[in-house]
Structure 1
Amino acid sequence: MESKRQRQVAEMIKRNFSLVLQQEGSYIYGPEPLVTVTEVHPTPDLSQAKIYLSIWNTDNKQAVLLQMEEEHQRLKSSLAYRLKRHIRRIPAISFYIDETLDEMHRVDNLFDRLYREDQMPNEE
């Protein structure tokens, strides 16, 4: 169960890191991939934050994530600059790929295929 402060910090990190990606992202992973922040999960002591990213418009999502890891310090510095008036200590950040939307599309396509093959009853 997240505390109110954890939810506040998570939302603050999510909004500000999204802005950092808008400004710095094209220099790090190029103009083609579209990277969005889907979720942020800070630890109860707010010392660490897991940032979940949705990566679109590229076939190699892992390469984008690796490029972000290489520029980890640059991204954290930009985030710290935006958060310094709001948080006493900037949490250590780590990046993860959020596969939720990909999984949703996969399941949706599976249902479409089952309907086409008449293996599912029609909703009438």
Structure 2
Amino acid sequence: MVEYKTEEQKKKFYRTGDWNKLRIEALDRDNHECQQCKREGKVHVDSIKVQGERKSVELNVHHKYEIEHYPKLALVLDNLETLCLNCHNKMHDRVFGEQKKKRWDDERWE
């Protein structure tokens, strides 16, 4: 059975033609819209490619059940959903630009 435990194994998987094909299928199925934003009544669609410029990444295809723990679901369309970068980062507890809450809410005495 294939495993996706290490970063190198995951990177190798995400470079395969099978993944890329399924990723496009998931994006098309989800109409290139963030499904979490949609559930919240918002709209976040993919960026548009401008000739001569690099396309900005707006959407990711997310595994609902992570491949590290559920390798059999790595290439199952029903295990995928389209998310914007912000929602995808929230799903993985990666929050940037916000200060983490202080552990103690004490005043500082000088």
TM-score, length basis structure 2: 0.32
Greater helix content: 1
Greater strand content: 1
TM-score, length basis structure 1: 0.30
